[in-house]
Amino acid sequence: MTKNKLYIIGAFVFLVLLIIPLFYESTFVLHMYTLIFFYTALTAAWNIPAFGGQLSLGHASFFGIGAYTAAILYVNYGVSPWIGIVAAAAAAMVGGLVLSLPLIRLRGPFFTLASIAFAEVLRMIAIDWRSLTNGSVGINIPFKPSLMNLTFQSGMPFYYISLALAVGVVYLTYRIRSSALGFHLRAAASDDEAAKALGVNTTLTHFIALMWSSGITGVLGLFYVFYIYVLEPQTFFSLDLFSLQPALNGIIGGMGTVWGPVIGAILMTPLGEFLRFYLGTIQQGLNFVVYGLVLVLTVRFIPGGIVSLLTPMIKRKKAKKTANLPKETEVA
Amino acid sequence: MALLEVKQLTKRFGGLVAVNQMNFEVAQGEIVGLIGPNGAGKTTVFNLISGILPATEGSIVLNNCELSRMPAHRRSLAGIGRTFQVVRPFEMTVLENVMVPALTRTKNTAKARKKAFQVLEMMGLDELAEAEPGNLTLAQRKRIEVARALATDPKLLLLDEVLAGLNPTEVAENLPLIRQVRDKGVTIIFIEHLMDAMMSVSERVLVMDQGSLISSGTPTEVTNDECVIKAYLGEEDPQC
């Protein structure tokens, strides 16, 4: 019954989220929700390599590549962003490919460091390659509202688009985690050598995970640029906004779990906006101090993230149920 | 015809020769014991056969298939299964641990789950399917180790001290499993320090000392071999 109860709660939350925009006039509230949904999707995509224990601090690379690809195609060549989705995903996956060539044998902290460097290099390229990217001035998406142009008069369509993205990406990560790929990622994270001895091609496994993650992140970059209309290297290849933020959300919520990114994004996005608004005006950078503090405390006291506080409760109930029926069990 | 043929197998770590020009064959359906004093290179031989370490020289042929240049995961797919001396369960439930190798043979989770259950039943672990390995006894974790290797449907199973560290009752419980596995058609090489156990189960014994194969034969033959006695007890014998 627990499972059904969870489904009912989930369906209820989803329905509430569907009707929220009908009752709120405030664009700020809608914007806040939209950001939370974006970050949920972004963190969930970031989390796919994290199933295999690979911590990326360079996801801004894929986010930026996707955004630039779509924006350049749209502004310079008039290609609809809906078609641009394919190009954004493909370009970001090429980025993932480039990153994984040297990285495929670099594990743990070395992967993390190289991922940061990769994003920084791309930011430099975006600043310097003026003929293509218009340098640090960036690219403006012209305001021509239509569905084909993915440009809208109000914030409401993007509320639903980002909600759909969040639900879609989280569902996809759930499917990945309970598939052969997910099992192999978790095995590789736990003991790479033992996994290999059991027939798992751990290198290929990490690579496929990075491909999924980079492709999805590229598509999210596309939607985000059409949401905010302005594309500039400092924002889209930003270390703190799109590299550190999803990683923080993931670690605080629970890295390598399906629900960790959701919990992390829901808690940290409003906190981040709040801190930037209030503390950032008192003393620049003060918001990061609080952020750092939250991270340190989480890693020190709940290394498994917030989700690790919740799962024992659910598991205990499940264990009782499945004691007699082991074949009915599902992967959490 | 031999299932496994090892020729001139050598492993050097810098100046240290850990495995020196080993030659041996294992026939289909055999249970072969691999013994030797500490540091003789037994586990290194397993690492070379399973591909965890690359061999410096030599060939390893399983069913006419040359393995020595393959990465570890391909050797597993070719039919080599192994356990580790220090048990290395993944951080997931017992059932999921066994599903990992099953999922390298099929992409279908339901089939893998079924397969994993069959293996767990065979190993007497089916009631612990939902347990976390960290909460189990060493004997149980060693069984998980064997169950995982079996879920790859190996032709040749390398068991590295699956009885070490167990109490006599647990040894008596785990020992028959080795024969039971062989009766399913799996050929076995196993490393063991418990001589009683070794002698009662193995049909043939290979003895290693300082990286070289010094003797092979039935348990009785080997225990009467002067070279083996010397390797273990250090007795003088100019011929060895």
For residues A20 and A133, which has the higher predicted lDDT (pLDDT)?
A133
How many CB pairs lie under 8 A apart between chains A and B? Answer: 90
Share of chain A above pLDDT 70, in %: 92
- Map out the domains of chain B with their CATH numbers: 2-87+154-233 (3.40.50.300)
- Is the pLDDT assigned to residue A159 strictly greater than 60? yes
Distance from CA of B222 to the nearest CA of A (A): 31
Mean pLDDT of A187-212: 94
* pLDDT tier for residue A325 given thresholds of 50, 70 and 90: very low
Which pLDDT belongs to residue A180? 95
Cross-chain Cβ contact A196/B90 below 8 Å: no
Domain residue spans of chain A: 2-326
Cα–Cα dist A241/A117, whole Å = 16
Q: Which of B90, B97, B118, B128 to mutate to test the interface with A (most CBs of A within 10 A)?
A: B90
Asked if the C-beta of B27 comes within 8 angstroms of chain A's C-beta atoms, the answer is: no
* pLDDT tier for residue A317 given thresholds of 50, 70 and 90: low
Chain B contacts in chain A segment 189-218 (CB below 8 A): 189-191, 193-202
Cα–Cα dist B90/B72, whole Å = 18
Distance from CA of B240 to the nearest CA of A (A): 36
Summarised one tens digit per residue, pLDDT across range B75-122 is: 999 999 999 999 989 999 999 999 999 999 999 999 999 999 999 998
Which pLDDT belongs to residue A314? 62
Cross-chain Cβ contact A326/B152 below 8 Å: no
Sign of torsion over alpha carbons B110, B114, B116, B120: positive
- Is the pLDDT assigned to residue A106 strictly greater than 80? no
For residues A4 and A188, which has the higher predicted lDDT (pLDDT)?
A188
Cross-chain Cβ contact B73/A180 below 8 Å: no
Summarised one tens digit per residue, pLDDT across range B15-35 is: 899 999 999 999 999 999 999
* pLDDT tier for residue A23 given thresholds of 50, 70 and 90: confident
Phi and psi, residue B158, nearest 5°: -105, 110
Which pLDDT belongs to residue B166? 84
Residues on chain B touching A183 (C-beta within 8 angstroms):
96, 99-100, 103
Which pLDDT belongs to residue B221? 86
Mean pLDDT of A205-211: 94
> Which among A184, A197, A201 is the nearest to B82, CB-wise?
A197
Which pLDDT belongs to residue A193? 92
- DSSP classification of residue A226: H
- Helices A27-51, A202-228: axis angle to 10 degrees equals 170
Mean pLDDT of A166-179: 95
Which pLDDT belongs to residue B180? 86
User: Mean pLDDT over all residues of chain A?
Assistant: 87
Asked if the C-beta of A225 comes within 8 angstroms of chain B's C-beta atoms, the answer is: no
- Is the pLDDT assigned to residue A64 strictly greater than 90? yes
Beta bridge partner(s), residue B187 = B156
Summarised one tens digit per residue, pLDDT across range A107-130 is: 788 889 999 999 999 999 999 998
Mean pLDDT of A323-332: 42
Structure tokens at B175: 């020992």
Q: Work out the number of other CB atoms within 10 angstroms of the CB of residue A322.
A: 16
Which pLDDT belongs to residue A42? 96
User: Judging by DSSP bridges, how do beta strands B187-191 and B156-160 pair with one another?
Assistant: parallel
Q: Give me the torsion for CA of B52, B57, B60, B65, rounded to 10°.
A: 100
Distance from CA of B50 to the nearest CA of A (A): 7
Asked if the C-beta of B126 comes within 8 angstroms of chain A's C-beta atoms, the answer is: yes
Strands of the sheet containing B212-217, edge to edge, are B80-82, B156-160, B187-191, B31-35, B204-209, B212-217
Asked if B93 and A330 touch (Cβ cutoff 8 Å), the reply is no
Residues on chain A touching B103 (C-beta within 8 angstroms):
180, 183-184
Three-state SS sequence of chain B: CEEEEEEEEEEEECCEEEEEEEEEEEECCCEEEEECCCCCCHHHHHHHHHCCCCCCEEEEEECCEECCCCCHHHHHHHCEEECCCCCCCCCCCHHHHHHHHHCCCCCCHHHHHHHHHHHHHHCCCHHHCCCCHHHCCHHHHHHHHHHHHHCCCCCEEEEECCCCCCCHHHHHHHHHHHHHHHHCCCEEEEECCCHHHHHHHCCEEEEEECCEEEEEECHHHHHCCHHHHHHHHCCCCCCC
Q: Which of A196, A198, A328 to mutate to test the interface with B (most CBs of B within 10 A)?
A: A198
Cross-chain Cβ contact B90/A184 below 8 Å: no
- Is the pLDDT assigned to residue A324 strictly greater than 70? no
For residues B124 and A43, which has the higher predicted lDDT (pLDDT)?
A43
Q: Could you state, in chain order, the average pLDDT of each consecutive group of 10 residues for chain B (240 residues)?
A: 90 91 92 90 94 93 92 94 92 94 93 94 90 90 92 94 85 84 91 83 90 88 83 67
Cross-chain Cβ contact B103/A327 below 8 Å: no
Chain B residue with Cα closest to A183? B100
Residues on chain B touching A184 (C-beta within 8 angstroms):
100, 103-104
The amino acid occupying position B215 is S
* pLDDT tier for residue A323 given thresholds of 50, 70 and 90: very low
Buried (b) or exposed (e) across A80-116, using 16+ Cβ within 10 A?
ebeebbebbbebbbbbbeebbeebbebbeeebbebbb
Lowest mean pLDDT among A173-177, A185-189, A307-311, B5-9: A307-311
Cross-chain Cβ contact A197/B72 below 8 Å: yes
Beta bridge partner(s), residue B159 = B190
Asked if B50 and B80 touch (Cβ cutoff 8 Å), the reply is yes
Contacts of B203 (CB under 8 A, 6+ apart): B30, B31, B32, B218
Mean pLDDT of A231-256: 89
